[in-house]
Structure 1
Amino acid sequence: MMFKLIKKIIPVLLISIGLFSACKKDKYFFDTGVHTPNYNGTILEYLKAKPAYFDTLVRVIKVAGMEDVFQKENITFFAPPSSSIYKSVRRLNNYLRLQGRDTVSKLEQIRPEVWKETLSMYVFQGSYRLKDYPQLDTLALVAYPGQGYFSYGKRTMNIGVLYNDAGGVKYAGYRQLYLSFIPDFSKPLERLVNIPVASSDVAPTNGVVHVLRFQKHNFGFDTDRFITNVVTSGILPAN
């Protein structure tokens, strides 16, 4: 009788363990607000420690020649997961095929200056946590526009915290950080590309990391702009 009971319990335990493991992995990209904020290592070391999420991103940092920035400087980094980079490169290759041109098979074929210019839009000097940013309301930008910040590459990006509603009370719910791309500086509150943060306030030893939600983002914000920059700069041969 005991043996039969154990046989019934074991599958349930295995399923529970599997679900728990999946939740641990998924919560990193979704808005659970549950994670250990401190990391005993630099931002670059933090990214390298999570290859399932950031292996391609780490390669881009290397190709861009920005390893020292992530290793030695004090920065705030809105980390785009590797899947967002893959989506933009895939769009680039679709464009190249339509043009009858060779596709990109290695990240190194895209020139370092393109990677650096694009990656720099996610990097800001100094350490800034969610509490340091102003309120953002994407439906009422005139009242709550967030704020413009100079990125590492000196492009102005908009950053703000969305206050969600709760129990019918406006702005009483959980708060979510957003990084926004401004397509037209003459109309800074129009057509913003708003990217939500899934995990905020991760604290390595040389700054702060906010992980962007991968489903909502293509690397470079405006994929057509990224493609234009790559093609204009010239694609290097695969060998």
Structure 2
Amino acid sequence: MKKQILSATVLLLVLLSLGSGCNKGGSPYYKSQGTETVQYNGTVLQYLESQKGVYDSMVVVIKRFPHFVTLLSSPGSMTVFAIPNAAFQVAVTNFNRERAKLDSAPLYFSPNNLSRPDSGMFHYLGLEKLIARYIFNKVYTYEELEPSSIGFRSPSILGYDMNLRAVQQNAVGAIKDGPKVIELSDMNNSIFNRFWKSALTSTIAAVQTSNALVHTLTQNHEFGFASFTDKLLEPAWDRTGWTPIAWHSQYLGSWGGTVAHALDNDGDTRWHTLTSNPPPLPLFFTVDMKKTLLIGGVTIQCRKDGGHDGSPVDFTVEFAPEGANLADSSVWTRQRFSYPPDGSTIKLPHKFYFTPKVEARYFRFVVNQVFSGRLYTDRPYSNLDEIWMLY
């Protein structure tokens, strides 16, 4: 009898031991997700460099910018979301597919990858703004993010707002009992999460280096949060912080209506002028871009929701330098543009280029004529979904 009891006890202990060694979701890292880290004796840049064949593309991009190299090699307390090579490969493939449609040569991150004599490299400025979205001057662990169900809005190192959220995934046979991961979201300058693009960290434990906590993104992420092609194909300046400082009129409604709504990346909102006793044409608004930029062109998106009466089809873009007396008309540089005369493409975003490029801190958008049943009219109201300044 004693032998039977002893055998049963041993069997029970073995079964318990096997059960505790199992991992929900099939990941060998399950126990370390969100709660434990792997220590690395070196800086975050040294860690990324040491992972040959894993983060090579991320290192190539970082090393294009000396200030990023200095930051990631210096003492500090940062969070870095490590981007696997596959994420860059997806971005490059999608980008060059669109380049081919324009009969343009492919572009790459490294000169070693140039596939034909007319191949080139990606625009440095666009890459700088995108890679910065994965680096934060604060340590974010899963536990710190866990209390909020909607996540935490946080500026990345160049001031662009991202959202970080702790996510408890489902396990086999159980809801929210699986891997703990972090969701990193590009907010697209919008408070509405339907416009956000998100990526999840992998189930591999975070790595603590001497100056940063490193979370690894999944292999199916696309570098740039699915905006890589748009931003690099025709790179536009980041509008974060741009502030309207003057306007002819604004008309609040379900569509927004303020000048700020033409700068918010929300296709459902727009700047709209008064329709009752409106001021006469020309109509205008003025924006402070907060620093001097080299402007190579402008893209405007007229109202595209079906009713495009009031869309500006003849307009002037004016620029003034930092420190200028904006009340003095002589300080403004002006370039005038108009849509094609048939009006067939009025709902599409249009790009207009400057020759030569203009250095400015302020711009003024002036509506000369608008669409209203026929292309050009002096009907005195206007609206605009979005306006971007190009490099």
- For the aligned pair, the TM-score class normalised by the smaller chain equals 0.7 to 0.9
1:89 corresponds to 2:101: no
CA contact (8 A) 1:135 1:163 kept: no
Amino acid at match of 1:209: V
- Structure 2 match to 1:123: 135
C-alpha distance in 1 between matches for 2:132 and 2:38? 23
Task: Give TM-score, length-normalised by structure 1.
Answer: 0.72
| SS of equivalent to 1:177 | strand
CA contact (8 A) 1:87 1:218 kept: yes
Where do 5+ consecutive residues of structure 2 fail to align? 1-26, 112-120, 237-391
CA contact (8 A) 1:135 1:160 kept: no
Q: Residue 73 of structure 2 is aligned with which of 71, 74, 77? A: 71
1:134 CA displacement: 3.0
1:170 CA displacement: 5.0
Q: Which has the higher contact order (CA 8 A, sep 6+)?
A: 1
1:32 CA displacement: 7.3
**Deviation digits for residues 202-229 of structure 1 (CA, Å, limit 9, x no counterpart):** 10001100000112x100002xx32232
CA contact (8 A) 1:148 1:157 kept: yes
| SS of equivalent to 2:99 | helix
C-alpha distance in 1 between matches for 2:46 and 2:158? 22
1:126 CA displacement: 2.2
Please say which structure displays the higher CA radius of gyration: 2
Aligned residues: 196
| SS of equivalent to 2:194 | coil
1:44 CA displacement: 0.4
C-alpha distance in 2 between matches for 1:166 and 1:53? 27
CA contact (8 A) 1:57 1:82 kept: yes
- Structure 1 match to 2:324: none
CA contact (8 A) 1:47 1:58 kept: yes
More helix by share: 1
- Structure 2 match to 1:15: none
**Deviation digits for residues 34-58 of structure 1 (CA, Å, limit 9, x no counterpart):** 7861000000000011011011111
| SS of equivalent to 2:228 | helix
1:182 CA displacement: 1.8
CA contact (8 A) 1:79 1:211 kept: yes
1:129-168 correspondence to structure 2 within 5 Å:
129-135=141-147, 144-165=149-170
RMSD: 2.7
CA contact (8 A) 2:37 2:206 kept: no
| SS of equivalent to 1:190 | helix
C-alpha distance in 2 between matches for 1:99 and 1:111? 17
1:60 corresponds to 2:58: no
